[in-house]
Structure 1
């Protein structure tokens, strides 16, 4: 029995190749996003009777990497990291949304809160390659939430 298009949408996992990224109020094109991961430190508690217990501790920092092709005139990322001065930086909220094939309907969104840049990597240079120049922005954020739109 074959499934209709509507049944397929709710029955199969969402592909990861179609997504949107907004940094602050500006939508930007990226070819890869990684690091959306929440984890907690493990705290070991030992009682006086020889018992040993593990409990969740503080949440670890969220480290996100955004990769995109280098395009002439698009300097937003380098301007953002270069704006860091005397331990002050503009923190921005970021949203990463998975969309349908046409990019018109949002399926789910990760809303990242208080992100700031900690590194910007230039592309690798290789005269014997014909690959695109890709830059990587590394961010640290306080937390993120996930919202399902369907």
Structure 2
């Protein structure tokens, strides 16, 4: 019989359908979202061959690019997305996307730093459709952090007048 303490702890996986998005300065939800996609980072990798080394290659890492995030929801009479897309201000938002386990505990929190709306799409309208009309907003951000906990503090952030950067927290 083996000692159970020698085995690694089982991973606490969560389902993808329990998520929450904080978008307002007071961390309140402006809408329920049906889908969040595109959350990720791509790191530039340049592969080079070294003279005389034929059995391997070198990989040089370059800059990282944060993907645009798309949020989808059913159409309502709330015009928050449209107002944000059409705003002509230099103010950005920190947005948190939280995923929960079945007990309602935060298991992971992605914070989009200096987020700005870069696109909005109206639903496809079809006379014989019975599906919910879905609108979507596309968000770009200047930074991304990942934590096991978080939430409750999404904020509007302003660019630093000296450096031009947005704060990371």
Question: What is the TM-score normalised by the length of structure 2?
Answer: 0.70
**Whole-Å separation in 2 of the counterparts to 1:133 and 1:57:** 41
Q: Residue by residue, what CA displacement relative to the aligned partner does 1:91-130 show, whole Å, maximum 9, x if unpaired?
A: 1111111123364x22221111111111100000011111
Matches within 5 A, 1:76-87: 76-84=80-88
Kindly report structure 1 stretches of 4+ aligned residues shifted beyond 4 Å.
44-47, 49-52
Asked whether 1:29 is paired with 2:32, we answer yes
How many residues are matched? 134
Q: Which runs of 5+ in 1 are unaligned?
A: 1-9
- Structure number with the higher strand fraction is 1
**Whole-Å separation in 1 of the counterparts to 2:34 and 2:138:** 14
**Whole-Å separation in 2 of the counterparts to 1:97 and 1:67:** 16
Match of 1:68 among 67, 73, 82: 73
Asked whether 1:38 is paired with 2:66, we answer no
Displacement of 1:11:
4.7
* Contact map agreement 1:62 1:143 (CA 8 A) in 2: no
Q: CA RMSD in A?
A: 2.2
* Contact map agreement 1:62 1:142 (CA 8 A) in 2: no
Q: Which runs of 5+ in 2 are unaligned?
A: 1-9, 150-169
Indicate the residue corresponding to 1:137 in structure 2.
137
Indicate the residue corresponding to 2:16 in structure 1.
16
**Whole-Å separation in 1 of the counterparts to 2:90 and 2:67:** 17
